[in-house]
Structures are given as structure tokens and as C-alpha cells.
């Protein structure tokens, strides 16, 4: 619901994967040793030269950073911190989301709620 709302408000753009050449995606997957999803995200973000991606997979994020640049690649924690900074959520909600991700098996660093408060 929150994502749909961001899209409706023009703050989030849905990208169509049919904008990509299948052979280019398959070559990228093979060359970078990434999954299809990470590869598509990186290549789609590269189309307009300004889109960013959020990825928590270490290898995916490293390859995306090489391809797109550090300023256009972020992880879930930074995304949550940004959401707090702009007032979409409060630190306690961000920390609860972090705990849910960890409980679900996410490989995230150990942090406290203070991470979201500064």
C-alpha cells in the first residue's frame, strides 16, 4: 500500500522489464555472476542514468556499485534511515522493520535504534 501510494504521488516510478534486451540481461547475469533479479534491477536503473536501486545482497550491491556508482546503490537500512529523515516513518517503526528483516533471515549488521535517530 505504501509503495502504491508513493507511485500515485509521483515519488516512485515503476520500470518495465520489457525495456531490456533479453540477450543483454543473460550476458550480464553470466558475466557478473548475479541472479536475474539483481541483474534486471541494475540494468533498468542504468537506462535513465539517474535511478537508484536498493539491494541487500552483498555481491549484488558490489556489482551494482561498480556499474552505477555508490551514490545510486543503497541497502535496506539506509532506505529506512532515509524514510525516517523525510518523515515517512519514525525511528521505532524503522527499528521494528529492521528486526522483522533480521528475524526473517536477513543478513544485516547488528544495530540499535540509535542508528535511525541521528
**Threshold 0.85, pTM exceeds:** no
Nearest to 59 by CA among 43, 35, 28: 35
User: What is the longest distance spanned by two Cα atoms in the chain?
Assistant: 45
Tell me which residues of the chain have a pLDDT lower than 70.
Answer: 1
pLDDT tens-place string over residues 20-35: 889 999 999 999 999 9
The predicted structure's pLDDT at residue 1: 63
Give the span between the Cα atoms of 91 and 97, in whole angstroms: 10
- The CB-based long-range contact list for 60-64 (8 Å cut-off, 24+ gap) reads 60/34, 60/35, 63/32, 63/34, 63/38, 64/38
Give the span between the Cα atoms of 7 and 41, in whole angstroms: 17
Cell digits for 55? 539491494
The length of the chain, given as a count of residues: 118
Amino acid at each position: 500500500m505504501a509503495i502504491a501510494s508513493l507511485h500515485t504521488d509521483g515519488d516512485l516510478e515503476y520500470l518495465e522489464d520489457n525495456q531490456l534486451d533479453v540477450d543483454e540481461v543473460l550476458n550480464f547475469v553470466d558475466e557478473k555472476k548475479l541472479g536475474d533479479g539483481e541483474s534486471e534491477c541494475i540494468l533498468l536503473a542504468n537506462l535513465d542514468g539517474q535511478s537508484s536501486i536498493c539491494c541487500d545482497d552483498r555481491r549484488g550491491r558490489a556489482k551494482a556499485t561498480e556499474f552505477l556508482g555508490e551514490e545510486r546503490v543503497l541497502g535496506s537500512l539506509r532506505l529506512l534511515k532515509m524514510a525516517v529523515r523525510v518523515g515517512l516513518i519514525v525511528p521505532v517503526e524503522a527499528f521494528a522493520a529492521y528486526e522483522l528483516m533480521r528475524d526473517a533471515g536477513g543478513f544485516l549488521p547488528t544495530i540499535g535504534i540509535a542508528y535511525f535517530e541521528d
